[in-house]
Amino acid sequence: MPPAGRTEGTGAGSRAPHPAHLQPADPAYPAERLAAVGAPALALLGEPGLLRRPLVALVCSRKCPGELILKTYDLARRLRDQGICVISGFHTPMEKEALHFLLKGVQPIIIAPARSLQGMRIPTAYRRPLAQGRLLLVSPFPAGERRVTAELAAERNRLVGALAGRVVVVYAQPGGRLEQACAEFVRWGKPVAALAGKANEHLAALGVRLSEQPWRCFQT
């Protein structure tokens, strides 16, 4: 399937004013996966076929306890080296750190910004994986939503969890929006695992599995 959308411009980053759109009626639309979030239309930039792959969501609250930082680096390397297609907003600091490791691999990646793709600046680091067909940017937000907000980020995380078959949590702040999302993922029947550590112990009560090696929780 040809890449969706196209980028424009040169320099430190290119703008992407012309994303493709995938409607619920389209045969390629992942209707079964997105039924839980109301089947929104999707804007796409990159390889749309990645939506049909088995996906692992990677999520983390904005502030990450120190005990989990090195574990996150190891997690990102493991996901990369095992060729796992990771989907995330890659917006919080530790999600960005994970993306740094993932971009060094050859495995596919899906980035879900908490804003519209219209007019979004595409970092230079995305150019090669986009050209190689191993990167997809996806957004359910209309053209007017160009500023990231907490509400859009929460809606984006629900989309990420819906598209993924499995969820890995780096850290979810107690009482925060991501903790609420994790509880929702479990209610949907998603396998959810989190990095083991005192900071994540509260997630066990939600049905989240704690593990030093969460990528192994999903292996058959």
CA-wise closest residue to 65 among 158, 194, 184, 193: 194
Provide the pLDDT for residue 215.
78
* Distance (Å, whole) CA 18 – CA 8: 9
**pLDDT averaged over 10-residue windows placed end to end, the chain, 220 residues:** 50 64 95 95 96 97 96 96 96 97 96 94 93 96 90 97 97 97 97 97 97 76
What is the number of residues in the chain?
A: 220
Q: List the one residue out of 61, 60, 110 whose CA is nearest residue 86.
A: 110
- Two structure tokens written together for 183: 């509880």
Predicted model pTM: 0.92
The pLDDT score that the predictor gives to residue 11 is 40
**Domain extents in the chain:** 50-218
Statement: 50-218 belongs to CATH 3.40.50.450: yes
Kindly state the helix (H) or strand (E) to which residue 109 belongs, with its residue range.
strand 109-111
